[in-house]
Amino acid sequence: MNPLAFSGNPLDRASYRRADADWLAAQRQAGLFLPFWQNRPYLVENRAGFLPWQPQWQDRLCIFLGLDGDQPFFAVDLAEESEPTLGQGAFMEMRPAAFVLSTRDTAVAGQAKALLDWHKRHGFCPNCGHPTDFADGGHRRVCPQCGAEHFPRTDPVVIMLPIHRDEDGSEACLVGRNLRFPPGLYSAFAGFVEPGESMEEAVRRELREEVNLAVGPISYHATQPWPFPSSLMLGCYAQALSRDFRTDRHEIAAASWLSKAEVRERLDGAIQDDMKLPVAIAIAHHLILDWAHD
């Protein structure tokens, strides 16, 4: 299977060293920094635009990402109102950037975006409301008032492709159109894992809620970090017990069974109509693609 976008991060996150403030200060002097502006990474000719430390970043939010060999990497959040000029590059939205960056750069930029997003949302202690302090190079925040420690969170999300096999052995997958999707887009079904729920239980609940579909065995396929803002997509296949379904009309506007042959033709562009399937950076694309090509 081809690497999923935002996975394959090569950096050693050095969790055993990043609590050492002196060590981090030394790494900063030798580090390369990926600037962000309004959640957009800095790109130079379709590469992540890492730059050496600049004194004007002294008071900026700066996150330690990890080591590639002996080379430290950081992300820095630039809060200027207008787009900063840093050279020949430009800031690009994360989704389109994932189409042009290398696997390595996409994974590192995704890690940086998720961490920067978390800090913007967790400046105050949820326990007592006091402002929290930055710690461990950006991998922890500490409340000086009540002593509570807070760590970056990742939300688990199940994303599943229901499969049904007829008695003659032919298979079809069910794809749905969420009301929030762009016009014509059909994809796998997805939802957050709720407290006290296993991955399999979440798959069954979501399919029951969204399309009233009963399923049997559930199999794991792959996971994908998804930095919008910070999720871990748990990709699964679910064996449908029948092809009977009913959309809830609250989240899912429509759904359709597609054969393997039709999916292959759609992915190859042989069928041109209003239905669109997920783009290649999404794990939903790979769930559909890998099933169609078995």
Domain CATH for 173: 3.90.79.10
Neighbours of 44 (CB within 10 A): 14
Same domain, 173 and 132: no
Q: Per-residue pLDDT averaged across 9-28, rounded?
A: 96
Q: Per-residue pLDDT averaged across 193-208, rounded?
A: 98
pLDDT in tens, 158-186: 999 999 999 999 999 999 999 999 999 99
- Banded model confidence at residue 2, pLDDT cuts 50, 70, 90: low
Token pair listed for 162: 């229901």
The pLDDT of residue 79: 86
Question: What are 254's strand-pairing partners?
Answer: 177
Same domain, 263 and 143: no
Same domain, 273 and 258: yes
Same domain, 144 and 162: no
The pLDDT of residue 238: 98
Question: What are 178's strand-pairing partners?
Answer: 252
Same domain, 101 and 142: no
Structural domain range at position 131: 122-152
Rounded Cα gap, residues 187 and 276, in angstroms = 8
Report pTM: 0.94
pLDDT in tens, 62-90: 999 999 999 999 999 998 889 999 989 99
| 292 pLDDT above the threshold of 90 | yes
- Banded model confidence at residue 294, pLDDT cuts 50, 70, 90: confident
- Banded model confidence at residue 156, pLDDT cuts 50, 70, 90: very high
End position of a domain, from candidates 135, 152, 169: 152
Phi-psi region of 69 (alpha: psi -120 to 50; beta: other; left: phi over 0): left
Q: Total domain count for the chain?
A: 3
The pLDDT of residue 6: 98
- Distances from the Cα of 7 to the Cαs of 78, 159, 222, 243, in angstroms? 25, 16, 11, 33
The pLDDT of residue 1: 53
Q: Per-residue pLDDT averaged across 188-211, rounded?
A: 98
Q: Per-residue pLDDT averaged across 37-62, rounded?
A: 95
Mean model confidence pLDDT for the chain: 96
| 107 pLDDT above the threshold of 70 | yes
- Distances from the Cα of 138 to the Cαs of 35, 98, 110, 176, 207, in angstroms? 15, 23, 15, 38, 37
Q: Per-residue pLDDT averaged across 264-277, rounded?
A: 95
List the one residue out of 139, 158, 292 whose CA is nearest residue 224.
Answer: 158
Token pair listed for 177: 């159109």
In this structure, are residues 3 and 103 in contact, taking their beta carbons and an 8 Å threshold? Answer: yes
Find the DSSP H helices in the chain.
Answer: 21-30, 94-100, 103-121, 199-211, 260-268, 283-292
Same domain, 203 and 283: yes
Share of the chain above pLDDT 70, in %: 99
Share of the chain above pLDDT 90, in %: 95
Q: Per-residue pLDDT averaged across 99-107, rounded?
A: 97
Same domain, 91 and 189: no
Please, is 249 exposed, middle or buried when counting C-beta atoms within 10 Å of its C-beta (0-12, 13-18, 19+)?
exposed
Contacts of 102 (CB under 8 A, 6+ apart): 47
List the one residue out of 107, 95, 41 whose CA is nearest residue 228.
Answer: 95
In Å, the largest CA–CA distance within the chain is 69
Same domain, 92 and 198: no
Angle of CA points 217, 222, 232, to nearest 5°: 110
Same domain, 201 and 214: yes
Q: Per-residue pLDDT averaged across 239-260, rounded?
A: 96
Same domain, 184 and 288: yes
Angle of CA points 219, 212, 167, to nearest 5°: 60
Amino acid, res. 53: W
